[in-house]
Structure 1
Amino acid sequence: MRIVGGDWRRTPVAVMSHEGLRPTSERVRETVFDWMTHLVGSLADLRVLDLFAGSGALGLEAASRGAREVDWVERDRAAAAGLRATLERLKAGPGRRVHTADAFLFLQSAGTYDLVFVDPPFARELQESAVRDVLGHLAPEGLIYVESPSEVLPSEVLERLGLVRVRSGSAGAVAFELLARAGSRTASLAKLTKEEKRALRKAKAAPSGEKDA
């Protein structure tokens, strides 16, 4: 695996062979960080959380691009040790921490983050539960990245959680999306679907039923 951008661009990172370990592809990482650069600009002042870190690819990309702080959470001891070794080799410096812990237990005492990566083993219930728990630790203008099998989270789930899908894409059997709090400035940058655009145009074209006095 290689880091796509930033100070560590093109640096190879060893990935252990482990059942269920599925590093986010270079293509997806490049797309997602292009989105974030467009939405928030520099990552320099951001606090980042990489839950279910695995190889740590997403958090490594954020750190490479200058994120102020990055926390990786991985309960598998071997994977966590491998990530620590990678950070030591890269001379990552302060503000880069690997936690060998269960993601949900970690969140019980976590602080606030501007960007959270949620990429658990592919089970729909786990994605939803993780996003719900992350909300208590998300900055007002923060973003949540979610990676899922086949399909993004259902719209009714996002509505219930008070979230807006800002960007989404797919690559093979993987669906990925960026979410923001409804009503936030970041949410206002959401790209509307064709159906949403059509409905908005229809609403604007409809007569108000009122006449000028």
Structure 2
Amino acid sequence: MRIIAGRNRGRRLEAPPGAATRPTADRVRQALFDMLWHAPWAGRAVVEAAQVLDAFAGTGALGLEALSRGAAMAHFIERDRAALAVLRANVAACREEERARVLPGDATRPPRAAAACGLVFLDPPYGQDLVPRAVAALGAAGWIAPGALIVAEVGQEEALDLPETEVLAERAHGAARLVCLRAGGRGAASPEPTPPKA
């Protein structure tokens, strides 16, 4: 697992042993950031100079990728001890200590926000309905800026009911589904069609 692009391109990232943490695969992360870079509803400005939240952070790969591509600050929320140790090691390996804030805790019961973030990554364990709970809790704690872009990775067949958001796009990648949403969206148009499974 490596950083795909930017100032830390090629930097290797560690992952904790066992199945408790499921890092986003390099190819899925690359597809996600390619989409963010080029989509008409996103673009480079969504990442560059952004305040980023990586909740259910695991290895920190999503937030560290955003930092490598020019984000101003990344905040990481993770509760698993083994994942926290690896996350801190990955931050140090990327020499991003000044732009990374690691917060031990549960994204469904987060601490008060250090900053309202315009780009939010949610990559929880599949099948536990954690994304809606996290969005509600993080929003109440002040982590999600008005109009923020939320990227959730969920299971392929997992329902995702977030009434206060606008679905911008969905992409299938094997067993995973990436869903990009705009916080606070109402009366959204139909999302882009989901392509066949990769």
Which TM-score tier does this pair reach, normalised by the shorter chain? Answer: 0.7 to 0.9
Please state whether the residue corresponding to 2:108 is helix, strand or coil: helix
| Structure 2 letter corresponding to 1:10 | G
| Structure 2 letter corresponding to 1:90 | C
Kindly state the Cα deviation for residue 183 of structure 1 after the two structures are TM-superposed: 5.1
RMSD after superposition = 2.2
Match of 1:174 among 155, 176, 179: 176
Q: Hey, what does 1:211 align to over in structure 2?
A: none
Cα deviation code 1:132-181 (max 9, x no counterpart): 32334322231111111113644xx23xx221111211111111111003
**Greater C-alpha Rg:** 1
Kindly state the Cα deviation for residue 31 of structure 1 after the two structures are TM-superposed: 1.3
| CA 1:8–1:192: 2 relative to 1, 3 Å | same
Kindly, what percent of the aligned residue pairs are identical?
35
Equivalent positions of 1:1-213 (< 5 A) are 1-38=1-38, 39-42=42-45, 43-106=47-110, 108-110=111-113, 111-136=115-140, 137-151=143-157, 153-154=159-160, 157-158=161-162, 161-180=163-182, 181-182=184-185, 192-193=192-193
Unpaired runs of at least 5, structure 2: none
| Structure 1 letter corresponding to 2:169 | R
Q: Hey, what does 1:200 align to over in structure 2?
A: none
Counterpart-to-counterpart distance in 2, 1:143 and 1:21: 24
Counterpart-to-counterpart distance in 1, 2:9 and 2:158: 29
Instruction: Identify which of structures 1 and 2 has the higher relative contact order when contacts are C-alpha pairs closer than 8 Å and 6+ apart.
Output: 2
Unpaired runs of at least 5, structure 1: 195-213
Counterpart-to-counterpart distance in 2, 1:133 and 1:70: 19
Counterpart-to-counterpart distance in 2, 1:80 and 1:97: 12
Note if contact 1:168-1:177 (Cα within 8 Å) is conserved in structure 2: yes
| CA 1:30–1:145: 2 relative to 1, 3 Å | same
Normalising by structure 2, report the TM-score. 0.84
Note if contact 2:108-2:130 (Cα within 8 Å) is conserved in structure 1: no
Normalising by structure 1, report the TM-score. 0.78
The structure carrying a bigger helix percent of its residues is 1
